[in-house]
Amino acid sequence: MGDGTLPGVQSRSEARIVLHVDMDCFYASCERLRDPSLAGEPVVVGMGFEPGESHGAVATASYEARKYGVESAQPISQALDALPRMADARDDPDLDVGDAGYYRPVDMSFYKSVAGEVKAILHDVADTVREVSVDEAYLDVTDRTGWETVADGDRTLAEGYGRYVKQRIAREVGVPASVGVAPNMSTAKIASDYDKPDGLVVVRPDRVRQFLEPLPVDELHGVGPVTASELRSMGIETAGDLARADPAVLGDRFGERGRELYARARGDDDRPVTPTGRPKSLSRESAFTEPTTEPSRKRETVLALAADVADRATQRGALYRTIGIKVVTPPYDVHTRANSLPGPVDDPALVEEVALSLLEEFEADPVRKLGVRVSKLSFGDEEQTSLDGFAAGSGDDEADASTDAEPRPDRSTPGEERSSGQVSLGDFGSRDAGS
């Protein structure tokens, strides 16, 4: 440990510097941004909070609301039991206004606009930014700062940089963030979570192992309830236990993931921070208030979801090669069905048709939730692996690189004459439809 105690000096290290930026209860913070009177109040944001709706779940709870036991993913009914609506508390003499909260419906487009301001800062402070979700990103700032300790002893330049990023977000956007700084992604992720909200946790390269050592396994990214309880049954409670376990045994038990977890627990993670990529799939789903058997309701729902997904794909310039559905039957059995096409298309009518035909199998089943998904996406500006000799512009395809907003202009009228310019679809879906 006797490194770099000289004033402002180099303990020269090749270690990377990765920041994980995690916005604190982001949706609630956004709500406070447009309604400052919510500052310091319990705020709950979720689906199903519109007047007249009674099912849905919590997307985000402010830390004040969490004190009452409100958690994200909690059913709305439970949240309301733990923390009544302010409006109800005012009307009801039995309820205490001091123990009530503010409920807001999710307003994604607003949150995205706030997130856009945050992202602009992130791209300004880092060369490489990987956005994981609307409220979370990894940054590689190796070239912008260093692991050198500064004069007063224990602090590093990297810590100052992390503080700077946090403060810029707070000052310029007005929302709090927690930042983790570490030599790799998995440790940075844990660090940002370590002192939420409004945290700044720095894990120097020489302290990674001791930082991870005492953490319960389920705080590792990638360890959920199933893996955690299996690990515990093996006597592995902490990251330290995991780091000392036999990697071969972990490999046998959990496959590739086991070996990966072992490495992460030891602080070994050399995944580079790669820029945010294209989506791999697009989906839309919705739940019924209660399970339904009615075939017509199911079909209508699937049609609406299909139209929605296809529309989003079109807007994002995505072509899809696989169309699938998801059917959740009571108690909570998830079934998926999918069909792949001979080549990528942008064809809303086909999404509806395929989704409906896949649904037929569940005609008689009670269903609590339905979803439609398109996957195997490709994008207009990518190199088009030309399908069965169709060669979308054989010879000179760099010419249409500019048409990325409208990848396949030939596809116009949904319904009639499909596959005019696209790959021929053959008798898609006739697999179980007979003939």
Partner DNA sequence: TCTGGGGTCCTAGGACCC
The amino acid that residue 66 corresponds to is R
Of the pair 304, 349, the CB lying nearest DNA is at 304
**Residue 424 backbone zone (phi > 0: left; psi -120 to 50: alpha; other: beta):** beta
Of the pair 58, 165, the CB lying nearest DNA is at 58
By CB under 7 A, what part of segment 353-392 binds DNA? Answer: 368-369, 371, 373, 375-376
Of the pair 148, 182, the CB lying nearest DNA is at 182
Of the pair 218, 400, the CB lying nearest DNA is at 218
Of the pair 78, 314, the CB lying nearest DNA is at 78
**Residue 321 binding DNA, by CB under 7 A:** yes
Among 13, 78, 128, 386, indicate the residue that binds DNA (CB under 7 A). Answer: 78
**Residue 223 binding DNA, by CB under 7 A:** yes
Of 33-41, 112-120, 276-284, 395-403: span binding DNA (CB under 7 A): 276-284
By CB under 7 A, what part of segment 5-24 binds DNA? Answer: none
| Residues 6 or more apart in contact with residue 200 via CB below 8 angstroms | 159, 162, 163, 166, 178, 179, 181
Q: What DSSP assignment string belongs to 203-219?
A: --GGGHHHHHTTSBGGG
Rounded to whole angstroms, how far apart are CA atoms 314 and 321?
A: 13
Closest residue by Cα to residue 245 from 229, 261, 257, 256: 261
**Is 416 a residue of the active site?**
no
Among 292, 314, 329, 339, indicate the residue that binds DNA (CB under 7 A). Answer: 339
Angle 26-34/108-125 helices, nearest 10 degrees? Answer: 100
- Residue 363 CB coordination number (10 Å): 11
Closest residue by Cα to residue 354 from 420, 305, 311: 305
Among 225, 235, 389, 415, indicate the residue that binds DNA (CB under 7 A). Answer: 225
Of the pair 68, 147, the CB lying nearest DNA is at 68
Q: Determine which one of 31, 136, 148, 260 is catalytic.
A: 136
- For residue 342, the minimal CB distance to DNA (Å) is 8
For the chain, the distance separating the N- and C-terminal CA atoms, rounded to the nearest angstrom, is: 75
Alpha-carbon distances, residue 432 vs 264, 360, 374 (angstroms):
46, 9, 20
Of 86-94, 284-292, 296-304, 344-352: span binding DNA (CB under 7 A): 284-292
Among 4, 42, 48, 344, indicate the residue that binds DNA (CB under 7 A). Answer: 48
By CB under 7 A, what part of segment 139-198 binds DNA? Answer: 189
Of the pair 214, 330, the CB lying nearest DNA is at 330
**Residue 427 binding DNA, by CB under 7 A:** no
- For residue 75, the minimal CB distance to DNA (Å) is 4
Among 69, 116, 255, 409, indicate the residue that binds DNA (CB under 7 A). Answer: 255
Side-chain half-sphere exposure of 73, counting CA atoms within 13 A:
0
**Residue 283 binding DNA, by CB under 7 A:** yes
Of 71-79, 163-171, 203-211, 232-240: span binding DNA (CB under 7 A): 71-79
**Residues 356/302, Cβ–Cβ less than 8 Å:** yes
For 222-261, the three-class secondary structure string (H helix, E strand, C coil) is: CCCHHHHHHHHHCCCCEHHHHHHCCHHHHHHHHCHHHHHH
359: helix, coil or strand? helix
Among 119, 155, 232, 257, indicate the residue that binds DNA (CB under 7 A). Answer: 257
- Residue 124 CB coordination number (10 Å): 11
Among 338, 349, 387, 425, indicate the residue that binds DNA (CB under 7 A). Answer: 338
336: helix, coil or strand? strand
Residues binding DNA (CB under 7 A): 47-48, 55-57, 59, 72-73, 75, 77-78, 132-133, 135-136, 189, 220-228, 255-257, 279-287, 312, 321-322, 324, 331-332, 334-340, 368-369, 371, 373, 375-376
Catalytic residues: 136
